[in-house]
Amino acid sequence: MTEIFAQRIFIVDNDPFSLTINKQVLKNLGCNDVTKFDNEIDFFRRLHEQPKVVLLDYRTNPQKGIEVLKAIKELQPETYVVFIAGPSGIIEALFSLNYGAFEYIIKDKRYAAVMQTVMNNVQHMENIIYKNVSKN
C-alpha cells in the first residue's frame, strides 16, 4: 500500500491490544511513521519529536485525558489530537472537542473506515495550511 500520510503519528493507550490494533489500522492505511506509548510519561518525553497526529485513548481516565489534551495543545498547538473512545464514551469524547481535540473516533465496526476519513481530513487540513503559507 502506498503511504498516504507521511507525518509522524503517536498513539497513547494503556491497553497493549488496542495499541497493536490501532498501529495496524494505521499501517493498513499507509501510515508508516507510527509510535506506540502505553503511558503518558513516555509519551511526553518524546513530544518534542512533534507528531502531527496523536491518537489518545479516552477510556484510560477521562479526566486525565482532558488534562493530557490540554498539555499537548499548550506544548504543540499544531498537533491534531484524536480521541478514541468505546461506545460508552461518546459524551466524553464530544466534550474533548471543547478543549481542542481535532476529532474523536468511536471503536465500533466502522472504526477503520472512520480512521481513514479522519486521516484524510488531517491531510486535507495540512494541504490547506501549506497552500496558505506558500502564498504569503
Helix axes 16-28, 111-135, angle to 10 degrees: 60
pTM for the whole thing?
Answer: 0.88
Q: Which of 85, 87, 113 is nearest to 101 (CA)?
A: 85
pLDDT tens-digit series, residues 113-128: 999 999 999 999 988 8
**pLDDT band with cut points at 50, 70 and 90 for residue 55:** very high
Asked whether the predicted pLDDT for residue 133 surpasses 90, the reply is no
Residues 68, 69, 73, CA angle at the centre, nearest 5°?
115
Alpha-carbon span 108 to 123, nearest angstrom: 23
pLDDT tens-digit series, residues 60-74: 555 678 889 999 999
Asked whether the predicted pLDDT for residue 1 surpasses 50, the reply is no
Which CATH number, 3.40.50.2300, 3.40.50.300, 3.20.19.10, 3.40.50.150, labels domain 9-135? 3.40.50.2300
**pLDDT band with cut points at 50, 70 and 90 for residue 49:** very high
- C-alpha radius of gyration, the chain, whole number: 14
Average pLDDT, the chain: 86
For the chain, the structural domain boundaries read 9-135
11 phi/psi in degrees, rounded to 5: -120, 130
